Amino acid sequence: MTNPGRLERQRLPAAPRLGAWQLAWLAAAVFVVSAGYGALMPLLPAWLAPLMTDDGQAEVARHVGLLSGLYAAGVLVGAPLWGLVSDRWGRGRILMIGLVGYVASLLPLLRADWVGIAGIYALRGATGFFVAAVVPVVPALVAEHTPQSQRARRFAWLGAMSLLGFLFGPGLNAAAAQMAGALAGVGDGTLDPTDLVIVMSAALGALMMLGLAATLPRVPPAALEDDSQPASADRRRAMALWGLNGVVMFVLSGFELGIVLQGQQHPTLSSREISLMFAECSLVMLGVNALLFFTGLLERAAGRGVMAAGLVLAIAGLAMLAQHRSDAWMYIGVSFTAAGTGLVLPTISYLAAGASRRRLGATMGGLAAAAGVGQTLGSAATGWLFGAVAQLSFAWLALPLLATLGSLIVRPAWWAIEGQPSRSPRASSEPLPK
């Protein structure tokens, strides 16, 4: 006998596909919150210094560290919560709430002297909490409104926009300084570049609200529910991906901190060269995202194989960094590690997009939370490791990746996308849609 509930689920309307402009606005929202983080972090000392009294410099440094941790804690708490709520209330609504909260948490910083230390702490925590409504919901929206044949390229595009935002953020400070000088030249007074950065960040967030409000697909959450995948299998796969994401972010944050700490081990390594290595890391990861976008690699190769290749590259890079005796080898090690992690992270997001649509927000929120935990623990562990074994810390960082590589080999079912329609031979012979 036919199961009526199953037939009813089969009749549920498919989610409408995203158009080019809708995708552009979603990618721009990711870009804006990433740029806002990179632009506002250097401003923390400027907000805090006038509020400090005795031993100002040491106190400012302590508060900057605590504020950075509070922002990360906001993301860590908010991401799984907003992702879960978006599965029930609708993703567009949660995304708009996140952007409204993001803008509202920035504007009071124009008068940091009024809100005081406690207010700055509350606002930075709130900013992280509301940014967490953007981080998991945008990829969930893209996943549920994108056919599988286009999903890999779109996720590579989102990853590239996030990296570009981090790179653009410090440039926003330079643009604000130039703008303040230009405005001072034609006016009577002077404008604080710090205020301009806040205003520009908030204005970009408001622009994203308007663009998304006009373009987001309006689909009731009930129309997107399906039970095509067993809940237990979907949950196991999600937990495996969360663990992998946390491990890779643990290693990536430790690797980046290790680059900074190399200056203490190698006196010839200047701050300029360390900055170049960070730029190299970002550009290599951006190049890998471009490779995934233009080649459609994830649509042609098994995700498990792509991740295994990325892990091997990252392990090789960390091994070079642990043994290098010249700056040239260090640059090569940085490139290998960045390329390897740059392959793995978008693949994780792509595989997570294969979750059941009614659990997609929770899955993406779990990824963001796992990344936050990994980053926090990675920075703390690497700081301790460098104090104990110095340069060999890079070799210790490779061990979690080796263990993960082993899980890819012995547990292939964890990394497969199940419940997705298979492509027909005719469809597979057609060119991939852009």
Question: What DSSP assignment string belongs to 38-86?
Answer: HHHGGGHHHHHGGG--TTHHHHHHHHHHHHHHHHHHHHHHHHHHHHHHH
Is the pLDDT reported for residue 84 higher than 70? yes
* Residue 308 pLDDT greater than 80, yes or no: yes
Per-residue pLDDT at 6 exceeds 70: no
Instruction: Kindly tell me the burial class for residue 417, based on how many C-beta atoms sit within 10 Å of its own C-beta (0-12, 13-18, 19 or more).
Output: middle
Helix, strand, coil distribution of the chain in percent, nearest 5? 85, 0, 15
Token duo for residue 297: 């690699």
Q: Which one has a higher pLDDT value, 51 or 145?
A: 145
Question: pLDDT above 70 covers what percent of the chain?
Answer: 81
Class of domain 20-217: mainly alpha
Mean pLDDT of 405-428: 59
Number of separate helices (H) and strands (E) present in the chain: 17, 0
Are 266 and 391 in contact by the 8 Å Cβ rule? The answer is no
How many whole angstroms separate alpha carbon 63 and alpha carbon 55? 12
- Could you tell me if residue 185 is left (phi over 0), alpha (psi between -120 and 50 degrees) or otherwise beta? alpha
Alpha helices in 91-230 (DSSP H): 91-106, 112-131, 137-144, 148-186, 193-215
Q: What fold characterizes domain 231-417?
A: Growth Hormone; Chain: A; (1.20.1250)
Is the distance from CB of 307 to CB of 415 less than 8 angstroms?
A: yes
pLDDT at 354: 77
Same topology between domain 20-217 and domain 231-417: yes
Q: What is the pTM of this model?
A: 0.77
Which sign does the torsion angle of CA 84, 298, 165, 239 carry?
positive
Domain map of the chain by residue range? 20-217, 231-417
